[in-house]
Amino acid sequence: MHVFVYFTMFILISSVILASTSILSSVRTERNDLPIVGILAQELRRPPPHKTSYIAASYVKFLESAGARVVPITVNQTLEQYTTLFNSLNGILYPGGGANLTSSGYQRAAKVFYDLALEANSKGDYFPVWGTCLGFEELTYLTSGKLLLSRTNTSGIALPLNFTPDSTQGKMFQGFPADLLKALASEPLTENSHKWSISVESHNSNEELKKFYRILTTNMDGELEFVSTMEAYDFPIYATQWHPEKNAFEWTRPYIPHSPSAIKTTFYMADFFVNEARKSFHRFASQEEERRALIYNFNPDYSGIDNSAFEQKYYF
């Protein structure tokens, strides 16, 4: 063969090798396409026999819809067990509900993971945290060390978001299509199910909250302006007082919006957070441990049939 042919073959083969190693290394160093996110369980007010806590299945579906797998984090585990889970998971979601914000198994686990997340992220070990409704309120308590909530008339109402001028500096809505942002600002696409809120005034007059979280959106309950979406300035910590997971996955209440824009809101929120989890490289010590921890070990019950706010619930 002519030397030129050898040379061309050499170039071709080496570029194939180069391309494949760079694909492999970019997958390994920049993105974790196998994210696993923990969801906190919480105590039951009226526990069925042999059950102590629950997770609403809509939070599981929310994360799964964007490409994450889910591990339930039950209450009352030891610090050592929570630390092992922290080092195995790529993020955590604090769901809504009715657990006590200052003294409950939910609060204790939330605090353990919050403290571990602050420490890890400060050292460059990425670990995102998300709070929805009660989880949002819990984050205001964990960050400020105080219960600063005010009573609002917001149980069971869908609202449009009032974006703050600062919201364009935030990360959460960056990936949203322009027409969806417009719809969010003008149509009632965000479902609120809370009796307590952090008012914009309380937020801004508490030093810890003010310097820790950027307010992305606010809402009015008629009289009081409250924070409805926030994210930490220096940590991957995100929270909505409203319920992005309900639009696509809960059907038990007439005020939950299900329009095409409402369903996209569920998806783009989940997509945002799961992409954050893809930046974390924690993993289980073994595949066996991972399999034993996953939510697939449990089956949800159909609770919507008993007038629960949730169609399906996992009991633990």
Ligand X SMILES: *[C@@H]1O[C@H](CO)[C@@H](O)[C@H](O)[C@H]1NC(C)=O
Q: Which of 270, 239, 248, 245 is nearest to 67 (CA)?
A: 270
DSSP letter at 104 equals: S
- Cα–Cα distances (Å) from 241 to 139, 217, 297, in that order, read 11, 10, 30
Catalytic residue ranges:
133, 243
Nearer of residues 32 and 52 to ligand X, judged by Cβ: 52
Nearer of residues 76 and 174 to ligand X, judged by Cβ: 76
| CB 219, min distance to ligand X, A | 11
Token pair 């996953």 is found at 294
Nearer of residues 75 and 277 to ligand X, judged by Cβ: 75
Nearer of residues 145 and 222 to ligand X, judged by Cβ: 222
Interface ranges with ligand X (CB under 6 A):
43, 52-53, 75-76, 100, 102-103, 105, 153, 157, 222
Q: What are the φ/ψ torsions at residue 252 (nearest 5 degrees)?
A: -85, -10
Strands 69-73 and 92-94, by their bridges, are unpaired
| CB 31, min distance to ligand X, A | 36
| CB 306, min distance to ligand X, A | 20
Q: Which of 216, 237, 236 is nearest to 226 (CA)?
A: 216
| CB 191, min distance to ligand X, A | 12
**Which tokens belong to 315?**
């009991």
Q: Is the dihedral of CA 109, 112, 116, 119 positive or negative?
A: positive
Residue with nearest beta carbon to ligand X = 52
